[in-house]
């Protein structure tokens, strides 16, 4: 299951969110809005894809259309004096129509080495520049693990280095629990276009695990349990000292019977 389903699709509504957040007024509008979202994403990738665009989230609230662009270099998306941003808004307004008010916001990606989509695009770019795919994969794995990831897996497939027979190769380091729902696994894919054909690149990055106690919390919990056990043991010893034993009670009863 984990190898055949996108990790993001598997976790939607659990720890992952939708990239298109809107609800149509009628069912007839749904196909048109899906096509519109596709055109907007394609436009942004073509115009400012060089800025390291990882995700494009689209929200619709009435007549307001909000587009959130997650980029590694937000300055390139905005442009000098906001020129690139203004032209981008104009192009999106042409797609959405004059009745919609378009708002575009750019969000910076703090660590591009932990973004699976950017890592996949970087490997694809290196393959297009005739760099051996294994060198590109090993370099990417080293960068991702040094950035603090718990695990990473990279797969490339196609006519690798121009070989006649297509194949796929996989390199992995750390853990990749694809079937664990609480594991936050970032997934990205890209395509490298060469003279001998196309090469597909897929990247899985295991960042963290939700609903799991940290090492510090586990140590604190163990300390509290030890203190509780010590208190209970001390209380039991005091109770035993205060209460007379069974044999002492029998001896006292026997003495009372002899006196009588």
Do residues 12 and 79 share a domain? yes
Do residues 98 and 175 share a domain? no
Predicted local confidence at residue 212, as pLDDT: 66
Q: Does pLDDT of 2 surpass 70?
A: no
SS in 3 state form for the chain? Answer: CCCCCCHHHHCECCCECCCEECCCCCCCHHHHHHHHHHHHHHHHHHHHHHHCEEEEEEEEECCEEEEEEEECCHHHHHCHHHHHHHHHHHHHHHHHCCCCEEEEEEEECCCHHHCHHHHHHHHHHHHHCCCCHHHHHHHHHHHHHHCCCCEEEEEEEECHHHCCCCEEEEEEEECCCCCCCCEEEEEEEEEEEECCEEEEEEEEEEEEECCCCCHHHHHHHHHHHHHHHHHHHHHHHHHHHHCCCHHHHHHHHHHHHHHC
Structure tokens at 112: 């591009």
Predicted local confidence at residue 135, as pLDDT: 94
* Average pLDDT score over the chain: 85
Domain of residue 34, CATH code: 3.30.300.20
Do residues 237 and 191 share a domain? no
Q: Return the bridge partners of 118, or none.
A: none
Lowest-confidence region among 13-17, 102-106, 225-229, 249-253: 249-253
Torsion angle, CA of 212/170/109/106, rounded to 10 degrees? -120
In which domain, by residue range, is 241 found? 215-259
- Dist CA 101 CA 11 (whole Å): 32
Lowest-confidence region among 65-74, 147-156, 239-248: 239-248
Q: Does pLDDT of 132 surpass 60?
A: yes
Lowest-confidence region among 27-31, 140-144, 202-206: 27-31
Domain of residue 175, CATH code: 3.30.1140.32
Given pLDDT bands bounded at 50, 70 and 90, which one contains residue 100? confident
Query: Looking at the domain assignment, is residue 70 inside a domain?
Result: yes
Q: Does pLDDT of 182 surpass 90?
A: no
pTM for this predicted structure = 0.76
- Please state the domain count of the chain: 3
Query: Looking at the domain assignment, is residue 13 inside a domain?
Result: yes
Predicted local confidence at residue 166, as pLDDT: 92
Q: Does pLDDT of 239 surpass 60?
A: no
CB 113 within 8 A of CB 119: yes
Average pLDDT over residues 187-203: 93
Do residues 64 and 154 share a domain? no
Structure tokens at 159: 């006519």
Query: Looking at the domain assignment, is residue 95 inside a domain?
Result: yes
Q: Does pLDDT of 99 surpass 50?
A: yes
Given pLDDT bands bounded at 50, 70 and 90, which one contains residue 235? low
Do residues 89 and 122 share a domain? no
Average pLDDT over residues 200-216: 83
Predicted local confidence at residue 1, as pLDDT: 46
């Amino acid at each position: 299951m984990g190898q055949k389903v996108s990790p993001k699709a598997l976790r939607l509504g659990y720890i992952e969110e939708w990239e298109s957040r809107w609800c149509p007024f009628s069912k007839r509008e749904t196909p048109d809005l899906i096509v519109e979202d596709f055109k907007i994403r394609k436009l942004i990738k073509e115009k400012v894809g060089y800025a390291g665009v990882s995700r494009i989230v689209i929200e619709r609230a009435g007549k307001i259309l909000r587009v959130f662009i997650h980029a590694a270099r937000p300055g390139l998306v905005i442009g000098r004096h906001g020129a690139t941003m203004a032209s981008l808004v104009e192009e999106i307004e042409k797609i959405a129509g004059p009745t919609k008010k378009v708002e575009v916001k750019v969000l910076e990606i703090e660590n591009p080495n932990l973004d699976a989509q950017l890592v996949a695009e970087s490997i694809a770019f290196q393959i297009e520049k005739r760099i051996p795919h294994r060198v590109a994969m090993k370099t990417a794995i080293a960068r991702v693990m040094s950035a603090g990831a718990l695990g990473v897996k990279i797969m490339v497939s196609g006519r690798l280095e121009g070989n006649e027979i297509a194949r796929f190769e996989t390199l992995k380091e750390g853990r990749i629990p694809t079937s664990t729902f609480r594991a936050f696994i970032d997934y990205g894919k890209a395509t490298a276009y060469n003279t001998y054909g196309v090469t597909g690149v897929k990247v899985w990055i295991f960042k963290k695990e939700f609903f799991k106690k940290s090492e510090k919390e586990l140590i604190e919990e163990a300390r509290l349990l030890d203190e509780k056990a010590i208190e209970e043991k001390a209380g039991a010893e005091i109770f035993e000292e205060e209460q007379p034993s069974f044999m002492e009670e029998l001896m006292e009863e026997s003495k009372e019977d002899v006196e009588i």
